[in-house]
Structure 1
Amino acid sequence: MSTYKKYFAAMALIWAGCAVVIILAYLLLFAPQSRRRLQTENQLKETKRAYRAGLKAGQKDAQDLAREQIQQMQHGLANFVTDAESSANLIFDLSQIANARQLDSFTIKAKDDREKSEMSDYKNIGENHIDVSFTGDFNQFATFLNAMERHQPVIFVDQFKITRPKRQGTANNVNMSLAVFVRKNNES
């Protein structure tokens, strides 16, 4: 019986050793291969998708769809960006809005000497800044702000400050810094 147990123990050790070698071989050789295969399959799918898109781009229907999407994007951009020539009209538009809202002591001034703008790195879009100040109550401020929100191109309120008057019964002083996106002239 003792030889039978020795034989069984030796066979169990050999089988366990073989199992460990097979598991290590799988982990070291085949698992990285299967991950690489999955990456290659994903790259192939992406390349096939790009190839099909390239084939479709040559078709008239796809070109018409692309033109339509570009026109929609340009129309959407027109809501946010104005031309450099028409940016001067913004001051006039804001003055008309202020007159319609009956704002007192309304002053407006374009900022030319703005410090380095965050948008200076962009090739096609710049930023114009306008300072506005007036006196009025909160309702006048709110209606003026509401009218500016509906203006096209969109006028962004960069900062605003409402100062209470020192005397009771007089209107608040409002100072606003406005920003407008302007399409740059590219002569180059």
Structure 2
Amino acid sequence: MNPIHRKSLIILALLWGGALIAFVAIHMFLMLPQRKESALLGEKLMQKQLMYDSSKAAAREQARGILTQKVKALKGELDRFVADVDELDKIWFSISGIADEIGVDTFQSRGIDSESYSLIPNCYDIGTASVEVSFSGSFRKFARFVNQLERYEPVVFIDNFTITRSRKEDSPPEAKLILSVFVRVPEEDKIKEEGPGAVSPAIEEVI
């Protein structure tokens, strides 16, 4: 081989070797720190994601807690207006006790519905129970009786009332009131009302 060519090859090999060494040095001093930085960044992003997921789960728990409190509050509010069927006797007895406490005369009560309560048309969960009460007493006692009913829970509604003068002289007026309360329809009565092939409103709405 020509000495000049050999010298050229040696120089070329040295140049390529130097370039390779320079490339490796650049890779070690520049690329490796970037990879480490990328790894650290990825780790930080993962930590941020975990923190985000944790805060999101905590927010869901908090929202669930708030929703539970609202449901309880709504249930408590509903209990002010709606009674269970098995509470009716207690309610009517309490109203009789109010009349005795006020001191009205000849207090009487009788149920209006053939059953303990009646269903409301197109209403799936709520019914009404009503009684007719009558007594004699002064207007002051009548006002006190109505005032006590307004404070009663569950709420008692006065559907109708009449006050008539007694036929006997020096006798107090006679009052007659129709009282009603809302009641929850028992599950077994819902099934009877629906019939064997009926679909409940909740299911029908989904369908």
1:10-57: CA deviations, max 9, x gaps? Answer: xxxxxxxxxxxxxxxxxxxxxxxxxxxxxxxxxxxxxxxxxxxxx99x
Question: With structure 2 as the length reference, what TM-score do the two structures score?
Answer: 0.59
1:155 aligns with 2:138: no
Q: CA deviation at 1:118?
A: 7.8
Aligned-partner residue type, residue 171 of structure 1: P
Question: Which aligned pairs between 1:120-131 and structure 2 lie closer than 5 A?
Answer: 120-131=121-132
Q: Distance in 1 between matches of 2:66 and 2:98?
A: 39
Question: Which aligned pairs between 1:50-61 and structure 2 lie closer than 5 A?
Answer: 59-61=60-62
1:98 aligns with 2:99: yes
In structure 1, what is the equivalent of residue 67 of structure 2?
66
Q: CA deviation at 1:122?
A: 1.0
Aligned-partner residue type, residue 74 of structure 1: K
Question: Are residues 118 and 184 of structure 1, via their aligned partners in 2, closer, same or farther at CA, if it must alter by over 3 Å?
Answer: closer
Q: Distance in 2 between matches of 1:82 and 1:118?
A: 14
In structure 1, what is the equivalent of residue 137 of structure 2?
136
Question: Which aligned pairs between 1:12-91 and structure 2 lie closer than 5 A?
Answer: 59-91=60-92
Q: CA deviation at 1:62?
A: 1.1
In structure 2, what is the equivalent of residue 111 of structure 1?
112
Q: Distance in 2 between matches of 1:60 and 1:161?
A: 55
1:55-104: CA deviations, max 9, x gaps? Answer: 99x81111111111110000000011110111111111011101101110
Aligned-partner residue type, residue 80 of structure 2: N
Q: CA deviation at 1:166?
A: 3.3
Q: Which runs of 5+ in 1 are unaligned?
A: 1-54
Higher relative contact order (CA 8 A, sep 6+): 1
Q: Which runs of 5+ in 2 are unaligned?
A: 1-55, 192-207
Question: Percent of aligned pairs with the same residue?
Answer: 31
Q: Distance in 2 between matches of 1:147 and 1:68?
A: 30
Q: CA deviation at 1:169?
A: 2.4
Aligned-partner residue type, residue 85 of structure 1: D
Contact 2:162 2:177 in 1 (8 A): yes
Question: Are residues 162 and 118 of structure 1, via their aligned partners in 2, closer, same or farther at CA, if it must alter by over 3 Å?
Answer: farther
Q: CA deviation at 1:167?
A: 4.2
Alignment RMSD (CA, Å) = 2.0
